[in-house]
Amino acid sequence: MAAPPKKAFPLRLDPALYAAIERSASADLRSANAQIECLLREALARRGVKLDAPVQARRGRPPKED
């Protein structure tokens, strides 16, 4: 099952904030985009907003076809 497409949109951030996100992402071995998504999910969870778990992309080789 393929993951649904993600919504793309421009986001303007203060350069110092983006630098802090990049440092945090690097420490967590994530991209800045994935870190922003993770931080937003955590913030929403603290506010009591329930979201479905994110659909994980399939990794590795596709299964062999017979």
Q: Measuring CA to CA, how many Å separate 49 from each of 5, 41, 44, 58?
A: 22, 9, 5, 27
Query: How far out from the chain centre does Cα 8 lie?
Result: 12
Which residues, at least 6 apart from 37, have a Cβ–Cβ distance to it below 8 Å?
A: 54
- Of 36, 56, 55, nearest to 44 by C-alpha is 36
Its pTM stands at: 0.73
Whether residue 26 is contained in a domain is answered as yes
Whether residue 66 is contained in a domain is answered as no
Whether residue 61 is contained in a domain is answered as no
Print pLDDT tens along the chain (66 aa): 566 788 898 999 999 999 999 999 999 999 999 999 999 999 999 999 988 887 777 778 888 887
Domain count, the chain: 1
Whether residue 65 is contained in a domain is answered as no
